């Protein structure tokens, strides 16, 4: 991840730091290279353009260009701006999972195939290792064997799960999950929701309703890092319906570009809380 992008940026930095004096033209040329690198990394044009413009505002001042090491100053501005893009200025506590009740509810949302079910298993194991008692509950009543898939994962890592009936109403599945969680003193319920191949109003209205009846402390958007530029549209669509608290990027080991990671935080204002690898 970020392999090609990193190489391109480092080459640009070498060109900057190798000069004793910088002109505005030198900086403009370097920023053009950075914008091209971002576009090649599948960062949307609007994000790349805004990023470069903000750097140029900071980097072209007379004080910087006439400093002892202007190249190093510009490199620092770019580095700090990239850190900001990835959420450096977000409150540190926003990267932590929050618990506001017992049981606390974590809602996983996203498109079909993004890795929600596998992520639910990984997250529950992480919480288990942190001494939390977790209940897994699948609300995906549409995809064949979705409930069974989550339950098999739960069995393999010894996590409690709900034997949900795909023919039942989602409201009843939620109600039964809360009943069992309170009865067995679970700290967290992780709800795995249904996805679609594309964002549609039916999916969004259903997730909005689930948010209302579960009152989650975390709504985590699970997104496949491989979808690149489309990740921004997906994130904005979900955020317009539900109160996202963070992002989980999956399959990052298969993504050499890194466009989704560079784009999603700046476009949603929400932190990337976890990176998932493998299938």
Q: State residue 8's pLDDT score.
A: 79
pLDDT tens track for 223-257: 988 877 777 788 888 999 999 999 999 988 876 56
- pLDDT of 119 reads 96
Cis link prior to 103 (omega < 30° from 0)? yes
Distance, CA of 170 to CA of 239 (rounded, Å): 21
- Measured at the CA of 94, the angle between CA 90 and CA 96, to 5 degrees, comes to 135
> pLDDT tens per residue, the chain (279 residues)?
566 777 878 887 777 776 667 777 888 888 888 899 888 888 888 888 988 998 888 877 756 666 667 778 888 888 888 888 788 888 888 888 999 888 999 999 999 888 999 999 999 999 999 999 999 999 999 887 999 999 999 999 999 999 999 999 999 999 999 999 999 999 999 999 998 877 888 888 999 999 999 999 999 999 988 877 777 788 888 999 999 999 999 988 876 567 777 788 887 889 999 999 876
Q: What is the pLDDT of residue 9?
A: 80
pLDDT score for 62:
58
Distance CA 63, CA 44 (A): 32
- Which of these, 216, 218, 221, 226, lies nearest to 252 by C-alpha position? 226
pLDDT in tens, 130-165: 999 999 999 999 887 999 999 999 999 999 999 999
């Amino acid at each position: 991840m970020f392999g090609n992008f990193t190489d391109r940026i480092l080459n640009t930095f070498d060109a900057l730091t190798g000069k004793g004096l910088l002109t505005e033209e030198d900086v403009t040329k370097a920023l053009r290279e950075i914008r091209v690198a971002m576009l090649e990394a599948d960062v949307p044009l609007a994000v790349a353009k805004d990023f470069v413009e903000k750097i140029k505002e900071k980097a072209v001042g007379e004080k910087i260009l006439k400093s002892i090491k202007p190249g190093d100053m510009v490199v620092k501005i770019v580095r700090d701006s990239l850190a900001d893009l990835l959420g450096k200025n977000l409150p540190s506590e926003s990267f932590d999972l929050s618990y506001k009740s017992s049981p606390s509810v974590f809602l996983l949302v996203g498109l079909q195939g993004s890795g929600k079910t596998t992520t639910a298993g990984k997250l529950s194991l992480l919480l288990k290792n942190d001494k939390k008692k977790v209940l897994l509950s699948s609300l995906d009543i549409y995809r064949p064997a979705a409930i069974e898939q989550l339950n098999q994962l739960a069995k393999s890592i010894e996590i409690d799960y709900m034997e949900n009936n795909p023919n039942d109403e989602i409201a009843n599945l939620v109600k039964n999950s809360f009943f069992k969680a309170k009865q067995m003193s679970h700290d967290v319920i992780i709800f795995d929701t249904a996805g679609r191949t594309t964002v549609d109003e039916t999916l969004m209205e259903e997730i909005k309703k689930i948010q209302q009846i579960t009152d989650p402390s975390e709504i985590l958007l699970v997104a496949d890092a491989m979808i690149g530029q489309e990740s921004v549209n997906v994130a904005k669509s979900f955020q317009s319906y539900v109160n996202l608290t963070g992002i989980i990027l999956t399959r990052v080991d298969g993504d050499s570009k890194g466009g989704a990671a560079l784009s999603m935080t700046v476009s949603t204002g929400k932190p990337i809380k976890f990176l998932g690898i493998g299938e």
